[in-house]
Amino acid sequence: MDYKVLYRKYRPQNFDELVGQEPIKKILKNSIINNKIAHAYIFTGPRGTGKTSTAKIFAKTINCLNPKDGISCGECENCLNFTTSPDIIEMDAASNNGVENIRDIIENIGIAPTNSKYKIYIIDEVHMLSNQAWNAFLKTLEEPPSNVIFILATTDIQKVPITVLSRCQRFDFQRIDRKLIFDNLSTICEKENVKFTEDALNEISYLSDGCMRDALSILDQLSKVADEITLDVIKNNYGTATSEDIDTIYTALLHNDIDLLVEKLQFIKETGIDVKIFINKMLDNFIEKAVNMKKRNISNNAFRHIKKVIDSLNNLLGKININSNGYLLLELELIAFINDESNQISNREISQIISREIISDTDLYPKVENLIKNNGKNSIYNICDKFINIRINNSFAGANKDLKVKILEDWKKFVNQIVSENLNEFIPITHHVIPQVASETNILFVTNSESTKIVGNSKLYDIEIKYNTLYNTNYKMIFITKKEWEDVLKEFSANMKNNKQYEYISDEEYVSSEKNTVSLAEDIFGNEKINIE
């Protein structure tokens, strides 16, 4: 069989290739450089973090004939024959855990190394040894021959007798940082000619839960499914939960929407993602949200709300064990926040969270793209290039910085008002634009999205009615894209150089005589004046 799975093919061969565990690598390399090698080591930590690989690399480097700076040369006889060397004895204690297996070691330990300086015993899953085996092993482990080294590895250090631990140098392996896993996966993908998207590799890094072997196994599996590994490929073939899923859960908590919360949790459960990995994803996501709330000066009440959720999830993580119904406990923990009078935030605070991009509004409100099909049906204006140019011109006629500053503040309040009144059809438009120029009569808005511009202009009169009613003004508006704004600025600069002044131009010829939009605006907004406190 020629094919090798990726985690075997890319098993590190020296300390430079080993991903993560920098403090451990440094100590072991210095031990070799300074010739201060102990007789017994125990490596402990989660699965797939490099314990066995480190043991083999350490053993290989110790017996290397030409090591340099604690790195094996990879070319000498001992390095080339490492896997078949009779002086390297590997034993799996999961299947060789009896006292007779330890007696075999004791009987052979006095035989000198064949071709190497040291005879090295690597015993994996050492916590599986029986009590009788441990008792038989103690004396030998404490005082082995000077040319014998023991390297023990375990994922369950609690089951190793304290009498054994006191005879070994202990090294605790940590879960590998997701950034390091991502970088290693990227390198391997390039070597294997596997196409990928960055968000997909980030997701694999997360799903691996700090385990490099798991990450490579997932990558190996998905590389056989599609020509390119994308987030959709992962979602369709492997249990996962995206940041959008977590945003939906947070949205449900903000709006006390128990149906949405339960529905989304059930969906995530059905993807097959491990509940602990999912809770850790939520914790990372919510902590990032909490930090951004402080950075963007969102109310302390909103911060306290999310901190309480974080504390609750963190406590739950410690309670879930192999016998727990994790998703049931998670559901109970989260629905406790629904309609919790001691932990509620206002619509105004929710609008702050949305408008300052703590969460996306895509799960809350209809996307702009879904509104574009209704473009122009109810517009009272004849939206054409000439009309748009007139409105742009009139925004610059008499424009000044103070007016823009005032409009910026008023627009933020206006957006909050739209949210508080649940005017869902207008939320995507008003959230995705910025007032850039303001005169006494006109306001020019800029957006990154062509669709926002189209839908915004199609509903221009409706938005004007609402805005002017709130502030007792008579502003006219126009929406343009960022690209168009760059062209407008170039024209503005040229006009300033040529001392060309902007003069107000009437746009009455582009106003429809039909009043259907006026009645529509009144149906949506009402015709009473509203004061913002």
Interval 110-156: pLDDT, tens: 888 888 889 999 999 999 988 888 988 888 888 888 899 999 999 88
Scan for tokens 């406190």, then name that residue: 533
Q: Are 37 and 67 in contact (CB under 8 A)?
A: no
Q: Are 417 and 532 in contact (CB under 8 A)?
A: yes
pLDDT at 320: 84
Q: Any idea what the Cα angle at residue 363 is, between residues 361 and 369, rounded to 5°?
A: 75
Determine how β-strand 195-196 pairs with β-strand 476-481.
Answer: unpaired
The runs of H, that is alpha helices, within 159-257 are 162-165, 178-192, 198-207, 212-223, 231-237, 243-254
Residue 34, CA atoms < 13 Å, CB-side half-sphere: 9
Q: Are 407 and 395 in contact (CB under 8 A)?
A: no
Paired tokens of 309: 């959720």
pLDDT at 443: 96
CATH of domain 6-172: 3.40.50.300
Domain ranges of the chain: 6-172, 178-237, 243-355, 368-525
Name the residue among 184, 163, 171 with its Cα closest to residue 55. 171
Q: Say if pTM beats, i.e. exceeds, 0.85.
A: no
Name the residue among 285, 244, 243, 245 with its Cα closest to residue 268. 245
pLDDT digits (tens, 9 = 90+) for 461-474: 889 998 998 899 99
pLDDT at 514: 52
Paired tokens of 313: 């999830």
CATH of domain 243-355: 1.20.272
DSSP state of 374: G
Sequence-distant (6+) residues with CB within 8 A of 138 are 163, 164, 167
Q: Are 30 and 212 in contact (CB under 8 A)?
A: no
Q: How far apart are CA 414 and CA 417, in angstroms?
A: 5
pLDDT at 366: 47
The string of DSSP letters for 213-234 reads HHHHHHHHHHHTT-SEE-HHHH
pLDDT at 513: 57
Radius of gyration of the chain (CA): 33
Name the residue among 266, 182, 270 with its Cα closest to residue 218. 182
Domain 368-525 class, CATH top level: alpha beta
pLDDT at 6: 85
Fold: same for 178-237 and 368-525? no
Which secondary-structure segment (H or E) carries 447? strand 442-447
Paired tokens of 77: 């006889």
User: CATH second-level architecture of 178-237?
Assistant: Orthogonal Bundle (1.10)
Residues of the chain with pLDDT under 50: 362-378, 515-520, 529-530, 532-533
Scan for tokens 């990450």, then name that residue: 215
